[in-house]
Amino acid sequence: MGSKVFVVGGTGFIGRHLVGALVEQGYEVWALVRSRKRIARLPEKVRPVLGDACVPGEWQEEASKCEIGINLAGANIFHRWNEGYKRLILESRVLSTRFLAEALIGGEGRVLFNASAVGYYGDTGEEAVDETHPPGKDFLARVCVEWEAEALKWQRRGLRVCVGRFGIVLGPDGGALLKMLPAFKLGLGGPIGNGRQWFPWIHVKDLVSAIIFLARREETSGPFNLVAPEAVRQKEFARTLGRVLRRPAFLPLPVKLLKFVLGEVGTVLSTSCRPRPKRLLELGFEFSYPRLEEAIRNLFTKEGG
């Protein structure tokens, strides 16, 4: 497997962890950035390339020199939706995938790792699902279906394509946890609604390790659930976070209030999905943080933070 990696979305929460890990493992890393001010977010050894992932351009020439392409790009879903923003959520994912894949074709042994999400499944209630489960029917499920279809179609052009259906990524410096911490530190945290919804999660270090693992496994392709093997309910997550912080965590957030404040995206936050990392485990991937409490405790240590 080649040592040159081109990352789209390398300045975001997950991307910063990924490019740092790639550099530590000896890869040559290029990262697409939309503006010069974002360059400061990158580790010193990462080579910035200016450009817009949703527009073909000179950045594709740099990407074409790499054996591995990783796409983490996409407009933030935690934003009040209207029809225009919904279009942005979809197009930012599909177009960035298309133009990165387009740049990679033509070389031997090229691989595209493309992000997706467990939102692919929609609300599955109590059912445990693996990668063979059909997609849901809500807006985010439809986005994931189109996003994955765009990535996987490039297999017909000679790319090996792996799609990672991300769960809720826990890290000390971004993502969902950072948004929750202020309320929990004040003792005002708690579950959403009755808290019985399944909460698919993964430590950011395990996510990064899984991405690199799949990019290096030359015989692998297709979709993978990138979630921890321990399934927990939302109320258990809230209780565990409160216990680690030594704060009470029993104040429920009413679903109706969430929908009033956030609109349609509030409905997404109250859904239940219980995916299993079946294919990843079958390949022999070993999680460093398979259990929720050890994962959260690590995030509040010097090593995790």
What does the pLDDT look like over 254-285, one tens digit per residue? 888 878 777 887 878 889 999 999 999 999 99
What does the pLDDT look like over 159-205, one tens digit per residue? 999 999 999 999 999 988 998 899 999 998 999 999 999 999 999 99
Which of 59-68, 226-235, 244-253 has the lowest average pLDDT? 244-253
Q: For residue 165, what is the enclosing H or E element?
A: strand 160-166
Q: Are 45 and 65 in contact (CB under 8 A)?
A: no
**pLDDT above 70 for 34:** yes
The whole model's pTM is what?
A: 0.95
**pLDDT above 60 for 305:** no
Mean pLDDT of 17-31: 97
Mean pLDDT of 108-114: 94
Which of 40-49, 156-165, 252-261 has the lowest average pLDDT? 252-261
Tokens 């297709």, residue located: 222
What does the pLDDT look like over 125-152, one tens digit per residue? 999 999 999 999 999 999 999 999 999 9
Give domain limits for the chain: 4-171+200-229+274-288
Mean pLDDT of 32-43: 92
pLDDT of residue 264: 82
CATH code given to domain 4-171+200-229+274-288:
3.40.50.720
Radius of gyration of the chain (CA): 19
What does the pLDDT look like over 210-219, one tens digit per residue? 999 999 999 9
Mean pLDDT, the chain, integer? 94
Q: Within its chain, how far is the Cα of 104 from the centroid?
A: 21
With vertex at residue 92, the alpha carbon angle to CA 142 and CA 18, rounded to the nearest 5 degrees, is 100
**pLDDT above 80 for 40:** yes
